[in-house]
Copies of this chain bind each other. A is one copy, B any other.
Amino acid sequence: MSTIVADGATPGEPARLPTIGAAPEPGLRLRTIPEATVARLTTYLRVLDRCALVGAELRVDGTISSDELAALVGINPAKLRKDLSYLGSHGTRGVGYDAAALRSTLQQALGAHETYPVAVVGVGHLGSALAAYPGFPARGFPVRALFDTDPLKIGRPVAGITVSDIREAALVCRREDVVIGVIATPEPAAQRVADVLVAAGVRSILGFAPGQLTVPADVEVRRVDLALELQLLAFHEIRRGDVAAARQAVP
């Protein structure tokens, strides 16, 4: 089985959602939407959701122009139109987009009408916070299973969900239709947990532990490295200092 290593890249990954398998298979042509575009599409949908909820911010006839929507999400209007064009033409020239129709299109394209059951492994500080976060189920990601190895935690309820033994992962994941696995264990356990999740049929993993994860090629891994985020901010801080020093040195 060929394996890939989850690249530790948080920003600037080239990934363009290639056909999952190896060869591009000449016969079937799935439209390939850049990952950056997918990310923005979700923000468009969120803004439209909020508009629909509040009722404000869109015209009486229920349309919204690319300029208006772009301003709301803080983005270039041309980029927005190009993003939307990946889904086909759904706007009316001279008018704009029908907000309700656009919302529906985005929901369809992003699969926002479905739910994706999530399992969180490692019910520590971070795992508990994730389990209790209401924003996940609100967006279609209900946490349906919690796993740990700590006997003191197994069997106890956290955020309304009983913590299961990690050894029952395969059983519980299949029973709860878990589609996405979140790894919130200490780093040394992360690889083992990933293996367990993969064996349980989970093919999408979100990892919080630093370090690499090696998984089969058909498993998608995303990593969130908070210490790295701070490091990048710190680097900016240094640069800023350098700039200030240089400014002062060369008047």
Contact = CB atoms under 8 A, between A and B. Distances in A.
A245 to B, nearest CB: 10
A238 B108 CA distance: 10
A12 B13 contact: yes
Contacts of A17: 235-236, 239
Contacts of A112: 231
Interface residues of A, number: 81
A114 B74 CA distance: 35
Q: What are the 8 closest A-B residue pairs judged by CB atoms, nearest first?
A: A125-B129, A12-B36, A5-B74, A204-B233, A111-B238, A28-B246, A220-B236, A126-B129
A150 interface: no
B118 A7 contact: no
A203 interface: yes
Contacts of A140: 234
Contacts of A141: 227, 230, 234
Contacts of A212: 73-74
